[in-house]
Amino acid sequence: MPILSEITIPRRNIRSFLSALDRFRTDHDLTIDEAIIFMAIGDLNMAARQSDFLTMRPTSMTAIAYQLDVPRETVRRKVKTLLSKGLIRARGRELYLEDLKLWMAIGDQLSDSAQFLKAAA
């Protein structure tokens, strides 16, 4: 059985990670599913990085559903909300982040929290 001091640090780091995710979610009036799908869209858009150049590649609802292992219909509903809030844009079936800087800022906050989690493990 772990002692209290062994539990306190991971718990604080998990709380920090969840707090960063919740701030983003509440700032943009999103559900947790919508926030995660927003982050996945950015991840898939950035998958085409070549050397030091950043190339945004479009993604699709099918790719998001596959990456997150959720039904495509769930992704479709959440994407509709993200589009209406102006967080992403669509060109035909192709989806892109509307605000790369926002995605990067949220990613940095979550990454900072995740680094503490990894260090504590």
Residues 6+ apart with CB under 8 A from 26: none
Q: Which of 28, 18, 27, 26 is nearest to 81 (CA)?
A: 28
Residue 60 pLDDT > 90: yes
Res. 107 pLDDT band, cuts 50 70 90: confident
Q: What is the pLDDT of residue 18?
A: 86
Claim: this prediction has a pTM higher than 0.75: yes
What the chain holds in terms of domains, given with CATH numbers, is 4-120 (1.10.10.10)
Q: What is the pLDDT of residue 20?
A: 85
Average pLDDT, the chain: 84
The span from the CA of 6 to the CA of 10, in Å, is: 8
Q: Which of 20, 13, 12 is nearest to 108 (CA)?
A: 20
Residue that wins the pLDDT comparison between 107 and 6: 107
